Structure 1
Amino acid sequence: MTATEQRFREFKMPDVGEGLTEAEILKWYVQPGDTVTDGQVICEVETAKAAVELPCPYEGVVHAVHFEEGATVDVGTSIIAVDTDPGAGPAEAPAPAAAAESAPAADEEDAEPQGRQAVLVGYGAAPSSTKRRARKPQPGAPVQEPAAAAVQAELNGHAAAPAAPSAAPPTPSASPAAVPVAGRPLAKPPVRKLAKDLGIDLATVTPTGPDGVITREDVHAAAAPAPAPEAPAAQPDTTGATVPSSGSEAVRARETRIPIKGVRKATAQAMVNSAFTAPHVTEFITVDVTRTMKLVQELKQDPDMAGLRVNPLLLVAKALLVAIKRNPEISAAWDEENQEIVRKDYVNLGIAAATPRGLIVPNIKDADAKTLPQLAAALGELVSTAREGRTAPGDMAGGTITITNVGVFGVDTGTPILNPGEPAILAMGAVKLQPWVHKGKVKPRQVTTLALSFDHRLVDGELGSKVLADTAAILEQPKRLITWA
């Protein structure tokens, strides 16, 4: 490492989850010129699982921020440069290195074998020791011209390094806008944010600023509604009938396209894999939960539950845990690769949570070993953390069974899809006052419907029915929490 590289340290996007390949920068907490300390949070990023705050592993002054908010960055790509010796005077920082790219097997013949190294959050990706051949320029690739490089460097907040002399003059381009650095349109950070807020792809905007820079006016012009198309003229066909012209352009003008990324992208892929891998079976049961609802009100007044979140979901969770204790065979996983059923002597209870970034399923570790107050505290913390978007990737790993509460939306029940790798998922419907036969008479009672989806490779109909029936029996007579526990 050269003296310059030792002074200007590049912080690379780390793998903040389990084998994640990219993350979106949601928010910067520092800007060029700010002083940072070792361990200080510098930005918030969103992975395919959750939003995570990244700490800086260096101490010094921020020299450059390489990406704007909203940019998606590959793991291993430098996102910020820190001058660790600002008192040494001005100096030019080296260009940041991009993420290591995969090379074909033929390029790795001379590489030294090395095991995969663990990556610590906030300390960048492990460096690769693989020897790679120099990549040949691809035909038709855009050429970075000095003028465009200078403009892009100015937008990034630092001066561009002088271009090395070339043996031949660069090929002139059609226009400055045709040669953005690294294929990115030229625009200042506020303009990029404006475009993101308006849902405008900068690649589709015609720049009018100097050196091909996109201005705010350009973005507003691109966001302006298209003029109403003229009525299409009827065109006669060969039979003499009239065929109207297509109105697809007018339809598209009233549509909004949202990129599929982050939590939404990961959830979609996981649900597709689960639905078409595990054979789903769903069973339903409708149950009188009047006594459980009374117990909820009593627990809210109990001194041992003071300050804790007490609601029907808490008792449904406790009922399911007792049902699993009575039927432990359901706590298992299907290992397709090794053709094994993995029995688990613990329950990590997942709770499906709707967040602004999409559906996530954090879980309460060793939920079966917790008392009711401990379970209430863990459930409250799980829900509040998920709503704030602060759920850590580790909190969503290792789940063994899940509850989804569709009743909060007034829905009676559903056929939930299994969280990948889990044997079952319980859906809790809305609790409603309904006519019910109680002690031989029709009376208004509080009733709900439960639905249990399970993996039929692991869970036979008898086992699934027992778990669902036991859960319902506890909710009908909550004293069974004591007699069956």
Structure 2
Amino acid sequence: MTAANATRFREFKMPDVGEGLTEAEILKWYVAPGDTVTDGQVVCEVETAKAAVELPIPFDGVVHEIRFAEGTTVDVGEVIISVDVAPGSSEPVAAAEVPQPAAEPAAVPVPGPEPEPEAKPAGRQPVLVGYGVAESSTKRRARKDVPAQAESAPAGTYYSNGSAPAANRPLAKPPVRKLAKDLGIDLATVTPTGPDGVVTREDVHAAAVPVTAPAPAPVVPAVEQAPVTEGVSRETRIPVKGVRKAIAQAMVGSAFTAPHVTEFITLDVTRTMKLVAELKASPDEYGLAGLRVNPLLLIAKALLVAIKRNPDVNAAWDEVNQEIVQKHYVNLGIAAATPRGLIVPNIKDAHTKTLPELAASLGELVSTAREGKTSPAAMQGGTVTITNVGVFGIDTGTPILNPGESAILAVGAIKLQPWVHKGKVKARQVTTLALSFDHRLVDGELGSKVLADVAAILEQPRRLITWA
């Protein structure tokens, strides 16, 4: 093989897209073999334990091979795509190597050419976040003959040990094998309907549906049985991975590490609602033109003012060094419900922002979260969080702290209720706030002061404009 052929194919590896992550799931490919790609073009979308991220490729060429199918979880550093950077070259394509089974098998496609290790090209290399995993110094083993089963296997079929299956081994991709394992289905008993005898997801689901036989009619039924619809499974199993898996681990760790205390206060926010209406009616007067104004904006500003008055609440517990770390900045987290689960991006240095700046940051945070484009960096380094359960019609709750933070404020639904105002019972806008805090950092007195301060500001919110 010539030196030119050795550098003809470039490999793109799964980068670490979020500080220490070890794996990511391929959600969607935007290219296919034969497509032309350019430096910086997004080729796929992956989901890590923190967010969905689009990956750009750092060189030009023609897609030669895609190594993993959509839905596959890939370790950081694994080659996910190879590109022919010298299309039209007269040099022959190098023979592919078939990886030997290792102690821990890795999913690879068979058949399909695998490029030789690339030589490092001279000059500046495009850089991605986390890209540039060190090349292994271990030389690959020589190619062995591919078994006949591999030659006859359909393109794109993946095997768990990197080699072709035995004659009696059913053909299926790794996600399908995992689904069968989760459902307790033996693939050997499943009738394949895919091309060339490949078992599909639909085949596994069909095998998981129990055969419903007509039961003899009882003489006197003691209990009415729930109807069972033939062909419809009574249970659905959803693999826990990505963002939802990270949330579950973080919440369990927080709940059983930090001693939570939650305090509540019910307050009259009629004046806050009137101020929101006034700001909406005259946005130019307050520098809010084109920005979204809602009660959450004023509640966030009130919490920032309360933290400024009671700075000791803004801290973190360092378990390793047995220290309390006081933060002189506020990265304000806003809990956001997304199709992939609950995420908590935060507004960096929120304590320095004016009311219009805070409104702009909130609007950008919410729109980015809804589009599923929140970056991992946006969800790191939070100090205090707000969760607005009121949008679901909930009065209040006992929120769990975001790991590493000292407090979280839950905002309940704002409802018209009877309230004693100036000695008379009147209909007023009322809500309930709940503040959970880490009792290692925040004692009852400090937590009560912060919550009472937020409530007092929202009952008389006019000064928020002067604090803006």
TM-score (norm 2): 0.81
How many Å apart are 1:73 and its aligned residue?
Answer: 1.1
Residue 258 of structure 2, aligned match among 278, 284, 295: 278
Which amino acid in structure 1 is aligned with residue 64 of structure 2?
H
Distance 1:174 1:96 in 2: 18
State the Cα distance separating 1:95 from its structure 2 match. 4.8
Task: Tell me the equivalent position of 2:120.
Answer: none
Q: Which one of the candidate residues 274, 295, 302 is aligned to 1:294?
A: 274
Q: Cα distance, 1:10 vs. partner? A: 1.3
Q: Does 1:22 align with 2:15?
A: no
Residue 472 (str. 1) matches residue 455 (str. 2): yes
**Residue in 1 that maps onto 2:238:** 258
Give the Cα–Cα distance (whole angstroms) in 2 for the partners of residues 447 and 440 of structure 1: 17
> Relative to structure 2, which stretch is displaced further, 148-157 or 294-303?
148-157
- Structure 2 counterpart of 1:213: 198
Counterpart of 1:294 in structure 2: which amino acid?
Answer: K
Q: Structure 2: which amino acid aligns with 1:254? A: R
Written as runs of structure 1 = structure 2, the 5 A alignment for 1:76-115 is 76-89=77-90, 90-92=92-94, 94-95=96-97
C-alpha distance after superposition, 1:76-104 (max 9, x if no partner)? 11111100111214514655989x999xx
Residues 122-131 or 433-442, more deviating? 122-131
- Change beyond 3 A, Cα 1:175–1:96: closer
Change over 3 Å in CA distance of 1:154–1:276 after alignment to 2: same
Deviations 1:195-227 (A, max 9, x none): 99xx9989574336676423698468547x432
AA aligned to 2:444 is: G
Which residue identity does 2:35 align to in structure 1? Answer: D
Residue identity opposite 2:307 in structure 1: I
Match of 1:339? 322
| Alignment-mate amino acid for residue 430 of structure 1 | A
Native 8 Å contact 1:347 1:400 kept in 2: yes
Alignment of 1:84-483 (within 5 A): 84-89=85-90, 90-92=92-94, 94-95=96-97, 121=128, 124-127=131-134, 146-152=147-153, 154-155=155-156, 173=166, 175-177=168-170, 180=171, 185=172, 203=187, 205-207=190-192, 212-214=197-199, 218=203, 221-222=206-207, 225-229=209-213, 231=215, 253-301=233-281, 302-303=283-284, 304-481=287-464
- Where 2:156 maps in the other structure, the secondary structure is helix
Contact 2:23 2:73 in 1 (8 A): yes
Q: What is the Cα deviation at residue 152 of structure 1?
A: 4.8
**Is the alpha carbon distance of 1:133 and 1:377 closer, same or farther for their aligned partners in structure 2, counting shifts above 3 Å?**
same
Give the length in aligned residue pairs: 423
Q: Quick one: distance in 1 between partners of 2:297 and 2:194?
A: 59
What amino acid is aligned across from residue 289 of structure 1 in structure 2?
A: V
Aligned residue runs from structure 1 range 7-86, under 5 A? 7-86=8-87
User: Contact (CA 8 Å) 1:48, 1:265: kept in 2 or not?
Assistant: yes
Residue by residue, what CA displacement relative to the aligned partner does 1:409-455 show, whole Å, maximum 9, x if unpaired? 00000000000000000000000000001011110000000000000
CA–CA distance in structure 2, aligned partners of residues 341 and 101 of structure 1? 44
TM-score (norm 1): 0.78
- SS in structure 2 at match of 1:305: coil
Between 63-72 and 439-448, the greater mean CA deviation after superposition: 63-72
Q: Alpha-carbon deviation of 1:403?
A: 0.1
Following superposition, the deviation at residue 325 of structure 1 comes to 0.4
CA RMSD of aligned residues (A): 3.8
Corresponding position of 1:105 = none
> What is the CA–CA distance in structure 2 between the aligned matches of 1:50 and 1:146, rounded to whole Å?
40
Q: Distance in 2 between matches of 1:131 and 1:215?
A: 36
What SS is found at the alignment partner of 1:228?
Answer: coil
The Cα shift of 1:173 comes to 4.0
Give the deviation of 1:65 after TM superposition: 0.9
Q: Distance in 2 between matches of 1:268 and 1:413?
A: 21
**What amino acid is aligned across from residue 385 of structure 1 in structure 2?**
T
Q: Partners in 1 of 2:198 and 2:437 — Cα distance?
A: 55
Q: Secondary structure at the match of 2:54?
A: strand
Distance in structure 1 (CA, Å) of the matches to 2:423 and 2:145? 84
